[in-house]
A and B are shown apart, each in its own frame.
Chain A
């Protein structure tokens, strides 16, 4: 691993709590590492496990999912449904050998800017300790070689 490697982390934040929490962290000028790419989703219950696995396949070094605290869901029970799915998904991913810290789940409310910044610091440190993701990452190089061969032939 090179010294200046910086992880890419995909964070799925629910629009009602966690995204607002991230917004407040920004407004409050709280410092946290810039490794996180935020994707806003309507609810943590909206998250299909596809999204997490797809992010890992396309080379995300870490995935974070954050929703409203249990009991605070804008849609009453979206995060409860999500919690069950994530428990099973996380167990399955770890079972096949994905590092436990690679995929993380948390709750951040709209008022918890400090918690959001701390979580971002923690997950970035966790992923840096793990190094670049290798498992489940798809090697697209063979396809791009073929593509460039095709485009050369066309020229």
Chain B
């Protein structure tokens, strides 16, 4: 697939379909592909595609497209990236004509936090991914080489993903995976079945890890506000401290701000250095949007966003009635 991707990139540069391609290259550490800009055909061989290409390239597409309105931008998009691009087009942040979407079929991304937990503190020196098998050489005395099953370290947002194939593309690379029979809301339902006290404890313990670095916000394609509510200080709505109430509120309001827009790519959770479970918050909002308003983000450019429209018979069971 990687070869197909590179050949496609060369072809697109040659026939002038794109001026630049936003894709992934090998990062400086194993299993950490990083986003890159390819500006000519001779650099196309830098492009990689594997299960560590976990950032959402729509996040990089938006500022680049705004800064370079004249250039035609190719972007490599897996299912969630393409849905983010749909969302950004819908919100009139980017023009469809300016973007050439190189769709890639995705098999899910690796969750580094889970892998690190499995390795029990050992450092990954080298990693080799071949299909579903992952061979790691890890630090230790002496350094050793181990096989690790990939299926057990797929990121939670990916194992709950229903749209691994791109929904919007100009070319498509790779074969789609057989439709897996997943319950996308397993994680959410497990939390919903707990008591309010347990849920509160769960989220408090998650949020207590947060160091307020805002990596989640920076990684999110939809957190493009020029001034985030949390940076605002006139008026200052919410504190910037790591006091639990402040942290919890930051994550609640951030989740609410992306409600009905978030495509659950999981970029926020993967960007988090502390491993805070943000997927169960965003996934809950996706579930509610689907159940209450029959809306799934990022599927259709023409469909109105749920908060941009209403129906007269929207559900209102939550409205208090006097006894």
**Chain A residues with a Cβ under 8 A of chain B:** 49-50, 53-54, 57, 64, 70-71, 77, 80-81, 83-99, 104-107, 115, 118-119, 121-123, 135-139
Contact = CB atoms under 8 A, between A and B. Distances in A.
Nearest to B280: A95
B178 to A, nearest CB: 32
Q: How large is the interface on B (under 10, 10 to 19, 20 to 34, 35 or more residues)?
A: 35 or more
Contacts of A104: 320
B196 A50 contact: no
A91 B320 contact: no
Interface of B: 191-192, 196-203, 229, 237-239, 243, 245-246, 248-249, 252-253, 255-256, 259-260, 281, 284-285, 288-289, 292-293, 306-307, 310-312, 314-316, 318-323
Contact of B199 (A70, A84, A97, A119): A97
A99 B291 CA distance: 21
Given A123-B320, A136-B249, 13 more contacts: A49-B253, A53-B252, A80-B314, A85-B307, A86-B318, A87-B314, A87-B318, A91-B288, A92-B255, A95-B284, A97-B201, A105-B320, A107-B319
Closest 7 CB pairs of A and B: A97-B200, A118-B322, A80-B310, A97-B199, A138-B245, A106-B320, A104-B320
Looking at chain A's contact residues, the main secondary structure is helix
A84 B310 contact: yes
Contact of B239 (A77, A89, A93, A138): A138
Contact of A84 (B192, B196, B237, B306): B306
A23 to B, nearest CB: 18
A91 B306 CA distance: 15
Contact of B310 (A53, A64, A83): A83
B307 A89 contact: no
B319 A139 contact: no
A35 B256 CA distance: 29
Contacts of B316: 70, 83, 87
B228 to A, nearest CB: 13
Looking at chain B's contact residues, the main secondary structure is helix
Contact of B259 (A54, A88, A136): A88
B253 A50 contact: yes
A137 B201 CA distance: 15
Contacts of B200: 96-98, 135
Given A105-B318, A123-B320, A96 B248 contact: yes
B199 A96 contact: yes
Contacts of B314: 80, 83-84, 87
Contacts of B255: 92
A139 B316 CA distance: 34
A77 B319 CA distance: 17
B180 to A, nearest CB: 26
B31 to A, nearest CB: 32
A23 B229 CA distance: 34
A104 to B, nearest CB: 4
B196 A97 contact: yes
B238 A54 contact: yes
A80 B293 CA distance: 13
Contacts of B248: 96, 136
B320 A122 contact: yes
A53 B230 CA distance: 13
B235 to A, nearest CB: 10
A57 B245 CA distance: 7
Given A57-B238, A70-B316, A71-B312, A97 B197 contact: yes
Contact of A81 (B252, B310, B318): B310
Given A119-B320, A138-B243, A92 B289 contact: no
A92 B192 CA distance: 11
A83 B57 CA distance: 34
Contacts of B285: 88, 92
Contacts of A93: 252
Nearest to A49: B256
A124 B292 CA distance: 29
A57 B260 CA distance: 25
Contacts of B311: 80
A121 B191 CA distance: 33
B256 A84 contact: no
Nearest to A86: B318
Given A50-B229, A87-B318, A105-B318, A138 B192 contact: no
